[in-house]
């Protein structure tokens, strides 16, 4: 963490709370939480099941909105009342990797990889070349025209990881990305994820229960009672 001290945060959460209203009473998941992510920093978030780790990632990626508090990107407030502006920001600046690969079954591997880019406009030759380069990097160029059902679970998740980087995001958010895979395959995909993070110069926030994966990060935090606390690697 020390190498990032003194630099301005890329993405910052200030006194963020998230409260879910239920028939049995309000549930506070995040409680005046503060968090700062710096450029090219990798942060692992650990914590017990149900502690709010996925909720935190959803808020960092603006898939959900806080009950109170502020998010700043490069020092400027994200105005959640302007949904179209926030949606555009997310499409350009944030990449996601979920535990379930979330590939569309009727689209080929290459078409799935290019989906985030299509949201920004027509696929240019440069974007297609970038996608082909990713397919080479993840070792699936020969499976580019295969449908997800024709790929193994590990191959599907390789596509999902590469897809998160296709729009050259500033930040990739990964939520237990290898939790459904066996230890050996998960380990190899962890190397791939951090390799892409290094080559692309992308900041990374990864939620994981795997201490081996967490130790690859620059900083490890634990979410306890709605707040983040640093823990030793």
Domains of the chain: 39-63+90-230 (3.40.50.300)
Neighbours of 51 (CB within 10 A): 19
The CA-atom distances, in angstroms, between 42 and each of 21, 125, 221 are 32, 31, 11
- Residues constituting the chain: 233
Task: List, for residues 83-126, the tens digit of each pLDDT value.
Answer: 889 999 999 999 999 988 899 999 999 999 999 999 999 999 99
pTM over 0.95? The answer is no
CA distance 15 to 33: 5
Task: List, for residues 158-181, the tens digit of each pLDDT value.
Answer: 999 999 999 999 999 999 998 888
Q: Which two tokens stand for residue 33?
A: 């939480």
């Amino acid at each position: 963490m020390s190498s990032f001290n003194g630099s301005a945060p890329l993405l910052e959460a200030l006194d963020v709370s998230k409260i879910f209203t239920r028939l049995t009473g309000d549930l506070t998941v995040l409680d005046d939480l503060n968090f700062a992510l710096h450029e090219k920093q990798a942060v692992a978030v650990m914590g017990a099941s149900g502690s709010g780790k996925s909720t935190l990632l959803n808020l960092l990626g603006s898939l959900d909105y806080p009950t109170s508090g502020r998010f700043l990107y490069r020092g400027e407030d994200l105005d959640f009342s302007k949904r179209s502006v926030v949606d555009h920001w997310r499409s350009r600046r944030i990449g996601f990797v979920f535990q379930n690969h979330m590939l569309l079954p009727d689209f080929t591997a290459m078409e799935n990889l290019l989906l985030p880019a299509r949201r920004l406009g027509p696929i240019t030759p440069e974007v297609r070349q970038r996608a082909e380069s990713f397919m080479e990097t993840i070792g699936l160029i020969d499976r580019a025209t295969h449908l997800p059902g024709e790929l193994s679970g590990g191959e599907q998740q390789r596509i999902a990881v590469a897809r998160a980087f296709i729009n050259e995001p500033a930040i990739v958010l990964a939520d237990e990305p290898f939790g459904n895979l066996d230890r050996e395959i998960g380990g190899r995909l962890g190397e791939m994820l951090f390799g892409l993070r290094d080559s692309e110069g992308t900041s990374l926030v990864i939620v994981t229960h795997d201490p081996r994966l967490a130790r690859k990060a620059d900083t490890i935090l634990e979410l306890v009672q709605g707040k983040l606390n640093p823990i030793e690697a």
